[in-house]
């Protein structure tokens, strides 16, 4: 895909950020997660009647989402909210003659970066914390690519921003009912550097990481659930847990195919702790409040079938949700919880352990983002700095399937794709 970027400008908040909000301190969890960007791309069959609509509404919402128009000051561990502006790029796809439906079906994960602004991984100073690219297709549709720094936002926060921006575009004369809060740094303050490893250090140095999308449709998930016992409370097992277990089982098969046996392994999953902490939190609290749940270290000799894996992931998640409930409690409790979490995550550096990490975006309702010209026909995960054996899980358009964007070594991906259950249950 060839994309020509023909316009780049800085969009500032419609009204200046008040002096008392100019210095936005980062939280302890913000500092642990590093400063890389993460991104989504939303695909639409239509486009706005007025090309300036998206820019004007962005100005409006940046008043409330003021840190996104600022710049990160590394040494001071703050965001300088002096309204420098978010980057807004317009582009045109030149060599695409497909309809939007055909484009979505044939889109390769490796081409998604063409639909995002140039600055792509690092959001270190003085790079912008929010960058947007609107790409127009000859078919009449467009793609909106949104990249944001993990230093200030997690997936939930990005969902809040997209919802507010889309509503402001669709109804420019109405007051936006989504009001974010940025209180997390005061509830979980950053104090020093002596808490150990940051997640940014768990990245692969290999250039042979590829990303591939695997679609687990509604029927496939129903068939998988039929093989499994329900949860202890009688509820059926979540789509995400089922998909995680299938992927892990296939990765264990990959290990045996390569080495004749598996290594010890552990599974990590991000958990959004909003509405799960004992301390109260505003509904649209923005920042980072996703924690990492790690399973116990599973010995290579242990036999792990699909049901065992589902139980392992479920038991770990439920235990960690209970353990993390005190995350926003006063004094030292939250800090101690994060230090313990990061020490567990350090096991990823152990070459004797096969580790896989899942990020769940399935509940963030990106498919509801209607800017006034219809809801997205598809959404894609933007490229991220490569981490071996990582999967981003998102709902499909219908809301009852899961799309898994899997990062693997190129040669490993060839083996993974031949797994019998992967071939049977994915498209």
Give tens-digit pLDDT for 283-325.
999 999 999 999 998 998 888 899 999 999 999 999 999 999 9
Are 293 and 320 spatial neighbours (Cβ–Cβ below 8 Å)? yes
Range of the domain at 125: 3-187
pLDDT tens sequence across 229-254 = 887 777 889 999 999 999 999 999 99
Query: At a CB cut-off of 8 Å and minimum separation 6, what does 272 contact?
Result: 154, 155, 156, 289, 290, 360, 363
Catalytic hit among 101, 124, 323, 370 = 370
Overall average pLDDT of the 57-65 stretch: 96
Residues 136 and 243 reside in one and the same domain? no
Find the CATH number of the domain harbouring 133.
Answer: 3.30.559.10
3-state DSSP call for residue 405?
strand
End-to-end C-alpha distance for the chain, whole angstroms:
23
Residues 255 and 395 reside in one and the same domain? yes
Partnered with residue 71 across adjacent β-strands are 80, 128
Are 64 and 14 spatial neighbours (Cβ–Cβ below 8 Å)? no
Chosen domain end from 187, 219, 234:
187
Alpha-helical runs (H) found in 117-176: 155-170
Residues 37 and 113 reside in one and the same domain? yes
**Cα 69 to Cα 71: distance, rounded to the nearest angstrom:** 7
Q: Which of 18-22, 50-54, 118-122 has the highest mean pLDDT?
A: 18-22
Residues 147 and 268 reside in one and the same domain? no
Is position 316 within any domain? yes
User: For the chain, what is the domain count?
Assistant: 2
Is position 302 within any domain? yes
Q: Is 370 a catalytic residue?
A: yes
Ranges assigned E (strand) in 62-177: 71-73, 78-80, 86-93, 130-136, 142-149
Residues 101 and 249 reside in one and the same domain? no
Question: Given a cut of 90, is residue 120 above it in pLDDT?
Answer: no
Is position 165 within any domain? yes
Is position 200 within any domain? no
Are 396 and 219 spatial neighbours (Cβ–Cβ below 8 Å)? no
3-state DSSP call for residue 213?
strand
Catalytic hit among 35, 113, 150, 284 = 150
Question: Given a cut of 90, is residue 139 above it in pLDDT?
Answer: no
Q: Is 77 a catalytic residue?
A: no
Residues 249 and 394 reside in one and the same domain? yes
Chosen domain end from 157, 187, 217:
187
Residues 261 and 121 reside in one and the same domain? no
pLDDT interval class at 95 (50, 70, 90)? confident
Is position 161 within any domain? yes
């Amino acid at each position: 895909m060839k994309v020509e970027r023909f316009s780049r400008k800085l969009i500032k908040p419609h009204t200046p950020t008040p002096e008392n909000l100019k210095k936005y301190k980062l939280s302890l969890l913000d500092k642990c997660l590093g400063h890389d960007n993460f991104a989504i791309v939303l695909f639409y069959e239509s486009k706005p009647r007025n090309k300036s609509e998206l820019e004007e509404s962005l100005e409006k919402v940046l008043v409330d989402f003021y840190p996104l128009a600022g710049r990160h000051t590394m040494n001071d561990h703050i965001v300088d909210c002096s309204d420098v502006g978010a980057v807004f790029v317009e582009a045109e796809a030149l060599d695409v003659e497909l309809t939007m439906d055909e484009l979505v079906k044939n889109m390769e994960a490796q081409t998604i970066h063409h639909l995002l602004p140039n600055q792509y991984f690092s959001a270190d100073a003085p790079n912008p914390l929010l960058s947007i690219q609107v790409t127009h297709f000859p078919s009449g549709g467009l793609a909106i690519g949104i990249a944001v720094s993990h230093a200030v936002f997690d997936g939930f926060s990005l969902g809040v921003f997209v919802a507010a921006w889309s509503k402001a575009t669709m109804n420019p004369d109405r007051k936006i009912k989504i009001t974010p809060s940025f209180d997390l740094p005061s509830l979980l303050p950053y104090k020093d550097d002596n808490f150990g490893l940051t997640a940014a250090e768990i990245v692969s140095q290999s250039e042979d990481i590829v990303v591939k999308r695997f679609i687990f449709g509604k029927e496939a998930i129903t068939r998988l659930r039929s093989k499994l016992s329900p949860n202890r409370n009688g509820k059926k097992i979540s789509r995400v847990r089922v998909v995680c277990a299938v992927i892990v089982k296939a990765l264990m098969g990959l290990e045996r195919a390569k080495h004749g046996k598996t290594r010890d392994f552990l599974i990590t999953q991000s958990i959004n702790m909003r509405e799960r902490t004992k301390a109260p939190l505003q509904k649209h609290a923005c920042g980072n409040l996703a924690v990492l749940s790690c399973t116990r270290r599973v010995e290579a000799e242990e036999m792990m079938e699909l049901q065992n894996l589902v139980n392992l992931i479920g038991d770990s998640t439920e235990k960690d949700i209970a353990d993390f409930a005190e995350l926003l409690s006063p004094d030292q409790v939250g800090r101690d919880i994060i230090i313990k979490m990061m020490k567990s995550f350090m096991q990823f550096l152990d070459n004797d352990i096969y580790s896989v990490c899942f990020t769940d975006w399935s509940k963030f309702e990106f498919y509801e983002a209607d800017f006034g010209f219809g809801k997205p026909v598809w959404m894609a995960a933007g490229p991220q700095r490569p981490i071996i054996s990582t999967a981003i899980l998102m709902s499909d358009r219908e809301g009852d399937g899961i799309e898994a964007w899997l990062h693997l070594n190129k040669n490993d991906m060839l083996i993974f794709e031949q797994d019998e259950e992967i071939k049977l249950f994915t498209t």
